[in-house]
Amino acid sequence: MFPPLLSHRLVAMNETCEVCGLKFEREPGYFLGAMYFSYTMGVLTILPVSLLLLLVAGWGLVPVMIEMFVQTLISMPLFFRYSRVMWAHLDLAFIPVEDKRR
């Protein structure tokens, strides 16, 4: 679905699958549902680390907020990619495409 991770096109997406010809964006706004996957992954990775730093390690609120911001910036490109892959899998599981070369 995507070019290699360490390329200059970090958040660019291929239009079709190179193997089967499946068109990834079936309609405008198709990947809007991927936002829910991305949000969930963000909460599940950032919140526990922040709570541990705040409650167990005794960090102050400002350093924890800075850590959350940095962690979000680092994880956003990965979550963007994986959330779109998960959304496409979920969508194709419920609404399969008969002719994958559309």
Q: Which amino acid is at 37?
A: F
Greater confidence (12 vs 29) lies with: 29
Residue 15 lies in a domain: no
Residue 53 lies in a domain: yes
Q: In whole angstroms, what is the distance from residue 102 CA to residue 15 CA?
A: 11
Domain that holds residue 55: 31-94
Residue 13 lies in a domain: no
Domains of the chain: total: 1
Q: What is the mean pLDDT of the chain?
A: 84
What pLDDT is recorded for position 6? 67
Q: List CB contacts of 12: < 8 A, sequence separation 6 or more.
A: 2, 3
Angle at 86 between CA 1 and CA 69, to 5 degrees: 95
User: What pLDDT band is residue 31 in, cutting at 50, 70 and 90?
Assistant: confident
Residue 102 lies in a domain: no
Model confidence over 87-100: pLDDT tens digits?
988 988 888 776 54
What pLDDT is recorded for position 10? 64
b/e per residue 45-60 (b: at least 16 CB within 10 A): ebeeebeebbeeeebe
| Percent of the chain scoring above 90 in pLDDT | 45
Q: What is the pTM of this model?
A: 0.73
